[in-house]
Amino acid sequence: MTYANQTDFLEALSTPVEKLCKHCDTKITFKRSTKVFCSDNCRKNNSRPIQNAQSSPAKAREQMEYFDRVNYSYELYLDNRTQEQRDEWIQAYIDNPTTKKIVCNPALLNAKTINIAKIAHRYVMKTYGVSIKDYY
């Protein structure tokens, strides 16, 4: 955008512009037309890798905690030295009802990288000949 003079430019800057926040879709009136977020929080949250929790910081936090749990479980699994100990650990893990949401998560099961859900799936396939979903 070009302006005839500085006064026009300053006036354009101070003219409120109605926009939707790029992150949360809140309708906001901006004084600066280049601004795209309603708040610093939305600007920060928008650059986070987890995009499906965009509109809710609480949901975003819940997902972060969920993936922390997933990663932590895998570390705990690896802490077991022998395969036998690991099998025992994974059996106890899948028998804990609170872990179902992790071991049956399709995104984890289809992920390219190894994770606790894939280990649980391989374990029940090997031990019971069924998929992790059929196991439950």
Closer to Zn ion at the Cβ: 24 or 103?
Answer: 24
Q: Comparing C-alpha atoms, which of 32, 99, 45 is closest to residue 72?
A: 99
Report, in Å, the least distance between residue 88 CB and Zn ion.
48
Interface mask (CB under 5 A) for Zn ion, residues 75-94, using x and -?
A: --------------------
Report, in Å, the least distance between residue 44 CB and Zn ion.
11
Closer to Zn ion at the Cβ: 56 or 127?
Answer: 56
Q: Could you give the CA distance from residue 103 to residue 39 in angstroms, rounded to a whole number?
A: 36
End-to-end, the C-alpha distance of the chain in Å comes to 61
Alpha-carbon distance values, 134 to 61, 124, 129 (Å): 30, 9, 10
Which parts of 11-50 interact with Zn ion (CB under 5 A)?
21, 23-24, 26, 38, 42
What is the distance, to the nearest Å, from the Cα of residue 26 to the centroid of all Cα atoms in its chain?
A: 21
Report, in Å, the least distance between residue 22 CB and Zn ion.
7
Q: What is the contact surface with Zn ion in residues (CB under 5 A)? A: 21, 23-24, 26, 38, 42
